[in-house]
């Protein structure tokens, strides 16, 4: 049985939107190792419709790092969506249904069939939906020592979700590498 593992670059004030505007000054070899190790065990990517739309336009034409482009283009991709849509990017399956319950059932099917982690990077709305439907297994945050001040936050207008810290470390850049799982109590 697979696990759904979500990864975010996040600011101290909870902003996850547009990390390209604030994240890169903190990216170093240590963070590169953390990111690479998370990708290494992945058996597929899970994403929301919006992120899929962005990545399906970006990665097929990305030439700066051919190995990374090959990774994203070849790995199985699963798109959580509440409406039908095309899946024209290589190796993509859209998980859709008439309502939340039907979509959640399709996500559970994929989890049951995958032997390993389904990685997520971004897709804050989808992560909130996964938490609300008891589908998220692990939340990994690279918390940057910066308050961005504006932008979408990971948890906006959500019910309370208790999480348990299962691992933590500090990177030389001051970024905290935090791993949470939903609390069982």
pLDDT of 171 above 90: yes
pLDDT of 43 above 80: yes
Do you know the residue count of the chain?
A: 185
DSSP state of 76: -
What contacts 3, CB < 8 A, 6 or more positions away? 111, 116, 117, 118, 137, 138
With the C-alpha atoms ordered 31, 32, 34, 39, is the resulting torsion angle positive or negative?
Answer: positive
Q: What is the pLDDT of residue 122?
A: 83
111-140 pLDDT per residue, tens:
999 999 999 988 899 999 999 999 999 999
Q: What is the pLDDT of residue 185?
A: 67
Instruction: Look at residue 57 and give its three-state secondary structure.
Output: helix
pLDDT of 86 above 80: no
* Domains of the chain: residue spans and CATH: 3-182 (3.40.430.10)
Q: What is the pLDDT of residue 149?
A: 93
With beta carbons less than 8 A apart as the criterion, state whether 73 and 59 touch.
yes
- Rounded-to-integer distance, Cα 73 and Cα 85, Å: 19
Please provide the average confidence, as pLDDT, over all residues in the chain.
Answer: 91
pLDDT of 152 above 70: yes
What contacts 125, CB < 8 A, 6 or more positions away? 48, 50
Task: Please give the share of the chain, as a percent, with pLDDT higher than 90.
Answer: 64
Find the DSSP H helices in the chain.
29-40, 49-58, 66-74, 100-113, 124-132
Of 1-10, 31-40, 41-50, 82-91, which gets the smallest average pLDDT? 82-91
């Amino acid at each position: 049985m697979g696990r759904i593992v979500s990864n975010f670059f996040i600011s101290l004030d909870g902003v996850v939107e547009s990390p390209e505007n604030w994240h890169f000054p903190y990216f170093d070899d240590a963070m590169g190792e953390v990111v690479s190790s998370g990708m290494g065990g992945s058996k597929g990517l899970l994403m929301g419709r919006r992120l899929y739309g962005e990545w399906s336009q970006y990665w097929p034409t990305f030439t700066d790092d051919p190995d990374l482009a090959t990774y994203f283009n070849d790995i199985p991709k699963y798109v959580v969506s509440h409406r039908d849509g095309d899946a024209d990017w290589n190796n993509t399956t859209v998980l859709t249904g008439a309502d939340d319950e039907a979509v959640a059932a399709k996500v559970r099917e994929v989890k049951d069939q995958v032997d390993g982690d389904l990685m997520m990077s971004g897709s804050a709305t989808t992560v909130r939906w996964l938490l609300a439907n008891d589908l998220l297994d692990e939340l990994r945050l690279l918390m940057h020592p910066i308050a961005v001040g504006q932008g979408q936050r990971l948890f906006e207008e959500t019910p309370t979700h208790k999480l348990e810290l299962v691992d933590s470390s500090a990177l030389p850049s001051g970024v905290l590498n935090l791993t949470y799982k939903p609390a069982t109590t």
